Amino acid sequence: MRSLLVIGYVWPEPNSSAAGSHVIALLECFLQSGWQVTFATPAARTDHMFNLESLGIQMADIELNSDSFDNFIKELSPDAVMFDRFMMEEQFSWRVAKQCPDALRLLDTSDLFFLRHARHDHFKKTKEINPTLNKALLFTELAKREIASILRCDLSFIISEVELELLTDLFNIDPAMLAYRPFMLDPISEKEQNALPNLEERDHFISIGNFRHPPNWDAVRFLKESIWPLIRKKLPKAELHIYGAYTPPKATALHNEKQGFLVKGWAESATEVMKNARINLAPLQYGAGLKGKVTDAMSAGTPTITTSIGAEAIRGELPFSGLIENDAQAIADAAVKLYNDKKLWEEKQQNGFAIYNQRFNRETAWKNLIEKIENCINSLEEHRLNNFTGAMLQQHQHKSTQYMSQWIEAKNSLEKLKKSDD
């Protein structure tokens, strides 16, 4: 039986973010393939974190900059270690390589962090929604760190075909080091589709997203300041229900019942609140990866109005599950049109079911992914010999992280000794 250690950036919260549900789906696939799974993170536990032990996953708290991790992983001796985002790879991969050199090193990117930040910087300067950026905007310090992390790992999971193409074409990453891992979702049966409320049984608009994710907060502001007033002129009785985990005071301050702008906070189930709404509004002005709010809406049979950023890499060659516009007036016009046009609404709903079932089928996605993982394990020596750049980065650049970590560890130990003397 193979074993996997996941080093998480945070404890997964599937009801708070798409990233959380994304991780849980992946862990379930490993379990179903007979792997033993341990999830460890230096992050604090939270009220909304998923009980991984209910799935048979061992949970462990680990420390940054501490040799206690060395003992932990040496004893565990996993066949593979998966880093949840490149920041965890930077912190822990040198320790993994030292203590378990034969363990397959996996990186789950969720989305490309540097791409999201580059688009944000571009938007702040130009106020333009632009998914395509030039080299000058993409070749940043963040990009150097994240690409280096990808090169140091044996296999990196990439959530979007757009991001796969960016890595292979612009950054010249060997495709053998990358694995496409979209959302892994259970298909919606025809019976489940027919059980969902129809258009006449639904009211109002919805917008949902974890407020700790900056693009979501920006989208709410865009709705409040520019889009919603235009919609309300045409639909004066309509309401917009805003949901999101970790709602900050600046967001709750936007709540205004007279304007029909209702900030409702955390939702226990995105699908449940989605299926009562007619339209999902996701006017994202920057971001990367796949948007869970769009696939959540599909599963609830709710068409989406979004931007080119929000729709990126979702539909492939299939027609979209809503309408795509980038400026406030066009978004508002599309929202009003879709809200009132039953035939168009039903067409977009069916498009969503097709995308959800064909593009994000859990069984198909996992079959492709586990095959690539097993091939890497079985030819690991050759695989690493074909990645000299990664070996070089592991040997030289990554030493700086090791020495900094050891310096912090020594400093912390000295401070503890001083406190005990006092």
> In this predicted model, what pLDDT tens digit does every residue of 355-391 receive, in sequence order?
999 999 999 999 999 999 999 999 999 999 999 988 8
Determine the residue type at 254: L
Tokens (6 digits) for 227: 């889009």
Cβ burial, residue 81 (10 Å; 0-12/13-18/19+)? buried
Q: Please tell me what DSSP assigns to residue 199.
A: G
**CA separation for the pair 383, 124 (Å, rounded):** 41
Q: Please tell me what DSSP assigns to residue 207.
A: E
Q: By the 8 A CB rule, do 179 and 158 touch?
A: yes
Q: By the 8 A CB rule, do 391 and 384 touch?
A: yes
**CA separation for the pair 21, 16 (Å, rounded):** 8
3-class DSSP assignment, residue 228: helix
Q: Give one DSSP letter per residue of 289-300, joined into a string.
A: S--HHHHHHHHT
For β-strands 279-282 and 240-243, DSSP reports them as unpaired
**CA separation for the pair 25, 18 (Å, rounded):** 11
Q: By the 8 A CB rule, do 181 and 286 touch?
A: no
* pLDDT exceeds 70 at position 410: no
Determine the residue type at 68: S
Q: Is the pTM of this model over 0.85?
A: yes
**CA separation for the pair 50, 360 (Å, rounded):** 22
pLDDT for res 269: 85
Query: pLDDT digit string (tens) for 126-182?
Result: 999 988 888 889 999 999 999 999 999 999 999 999 999 999 999 999 999 999 999
**CA separation for the pair 222, 154 (Å, rounded):** 40
- List phi, psi (to 5°) of 100: -135, 70
**CA separation for the pair 201, 2 (Å, rounded):** 49
Query: Pick from 188, 251, 193, 200: which is nearest to 222 by CA?
Result: 251
Structural domain boundaries in the chain: 3-185+362-421, 190-359
Q: By the 8 A CB rule, do 319 and 254 touch?
A: no
Q: Does domain 3-185+362-421 have CATH number 3.40.50.2000?
A: yes
**Assigned fold of 190-359:** Rossmann fold (3.40.50)
190-359 matches 3-185+362-421 in CATH topology: yes
* pLDDT exceeds 90 at position 183: yes
Query: pLDDT digit string (tens) for 6-65?
Result: 999 999 998 888 888 999 999 999 999 999 999 999 999 998 899 999 999 999 999 998
